[in-house]
A and B are shown apart, each in its own frame.
Chain A
Amino acid sequence: MIIFWAYISAIGLISIGIYGLLMKRHAFKLIISLGLISTGVNLLLISIGYIIGGTAPIYPKNLNISAPMVDPLPQALVLTAIVIETAILAAALSLAILMHREYGTLDVRVIWRRLR
């Protein structure tokens, strides 16, 4: 059986992120877990577009390519996705700072109880 290492690392990152989401109750830890998940998803998308022995989808100046090019579309999607995730991350961290100011702690479950 052939083992697809790229898939293993992608899915591994996603599962570790899910584990963190289930286990952790510190706001920064939740954000870190979600960051791991999104890195894993990006890796999954890129490895889906990969072709063994392929080259990067950039033509040399003389336009001769020896090997087939890998699929450019997933790369374009990931370029977009990375920036979007960073944007969410920046907003989430500002929210966390606000939360710390309001409640004095970042323990999500404590805040949850204080809400009631």
Chain B
Amino acid sequence: MTIDPILLLEIVLTIIMIISAIIAVETKHLVAALAMLGLVSLQASVYFLILQAPDVAMTEASIGAGLSVGIFAYAFWKTGETEEKLENLEEMDKGVLIK
């Protein structure tokens, strides 16, 4: 039995894509999450290429993996949040002052 290389590529892409999406959502480091978001966009653009949509692939690569990541990085830099800082809600309810 021979395996179609395109099919193999699709399977690998799907698996990596979903793993990187999960990391993007779960990780505490916002920069890593951003990198993973860019990676998902890049893989999506490869997928668009496989699905015979070269116009969309080029646009997605330039926007999803380029522009959005840039704007995101700028926002991180501007706010100084590189990690997911969360306040403790229960303490807040008890009246402990935050900032």
Interface residues of A in 60-108 (CB under 8 A from B): 70, 75, 78-79, 82-83, 86, 89-90, 93-94, 96-97, 100, 104-107
A98 CB → nearest B CB, Å:
10
A28 pairs with B81, CB closer than 8 A: yes
B81 pairs with A56, CB closer than 8 A: no
A7 CB → nearest B CB, Å:
10
B64 pairs with A82, CB closer than 8 A: yes
Query: Binding site of B, secondary structure by majority: helix, strand, loop or mixed?
Result: helix
A44 CB → nearest B CB, Å:
11
A4 CB → nearest B CB, Å:
9
A16 vs B36: C-alpha distance when bound (angstroms): 13
B75 pairs with A56, CB closer than 8 A: no
Contact of A23 among B11, B25, B41, B53 (CB under 8 A): B25
**Interface residues on chain B, number (Cβ under 8 Å):** 48
Give per-residue flags for A26-43: 1 if the beta carbon is below 8 A from chain B beta carbons, else 0: 101101110110010011
Q: Look across to chain A and name the residue whose beta carbon is closest to the beta carbon of B87.
A: A110
**Contacts A5-B14, A6-B47, A79-B59 hold; do A29 and B84 have CB atoms under 8 A apart?**
yes
Residues of B near A19 (CB, < 8 A) are 25
Interface residues of B in 43-75 (CB under 8 A from A): 44, 47-48, 51-56, 59-60, 63-64, 67-68, 71-72, 74-75
Contact of A32 among B25, B60, B67, B89 (CB under 8 A): B25
Contact of A36 among B40, B48, B67, B86 (CB under 8 A): B40
Query: Binding site of A, secondary structure by majority: helix, strand, loop or mixed?
Result: helix
A8 vs B15: C-alpha distance when bound (angstroms): 9
Contact of A13 among B40, B54, B79 (CB under 8 A): B40
A19 vs B84: C-alpha distance when bound (angstroms): 17
A42 vs B21: C-alpha distance when bound (angstroms): 15
Does A1 sit within 8 A of B, measured CB to CB? no
B78 CB → nearest A CB, Å:
5
A24 vs B24: C-alpha distance when bound (angstroms): 12
